[in-house]
């Protein structure tokens, strides 16, 4: 069986990402199709939810090929159990920052 990879530049990519606020030690969990552009908006203060929480650090992101999967993952990570799970998963990251 031949293995294939879908790296088409025309296919939408979906990202779920976690930012850490160095100012208030809090987290921001978001979803986007343009990760680089979205991060630029956060860092330039153009996102209301994080504008007063700078400086920010990207500590984790996940890539999805399906929008529903990405939105479901974002929702899960924002839940109590989801936050607990990723804090455990990223425990060494939290030690370093």
Cis preceding linkage at 18, omega within 30: no
What ranges do the domains of the chain cover?
14-96
Cα 51 to Cα 36: distance, rounded to the nearest angstrom: 17
Mean pLDDT lowest for which of 8-17, 51-60, 87-96? 8-17
Q: Residues near 10 by Cβ (< 8 Å), separated by ≥ 6?
A: none
Model pLDDT, residue 11: 79
pLDDT tens, residue by residue, 35-71 = 999 999 999 999 999 999 999 999 999 999 999 999 9
**CATH hierarchy code of domain 14-96:** 3.40.1440.10
Model pLDDT, residue 14: 98
Cα 93 to Cα 96: distance, rounded to the nearest angstrom: 5
What is the number of other CB atoms lying within 10 angstroms of the CB of residue 77?
21
Model pTM?
0.87
pLDDT band at 7 (very low <50, low <70, confident <90, very high): low
């Amino acid at each position: 069986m031949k293995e294939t990879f879908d790296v088409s530049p025309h296919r939408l990519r979906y990202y779920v990402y976690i930012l850490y606020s160095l100012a208030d030690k809090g987290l921001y969990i978001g979803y986007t199709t343009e990760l680089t552009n979205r991060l630029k908006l956060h860092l330039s203060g153009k996102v209301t939810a994080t504008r007063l929480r700078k400086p920010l650090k990207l500590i984790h992101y996940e890539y999805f090929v399906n929008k529903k999967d990405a939105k479901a993952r974002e929702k899960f990570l924002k839940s109590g159990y989801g936050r607990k799970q990723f804090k455990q998963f990223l425990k060494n990251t939290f030690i370093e920052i």
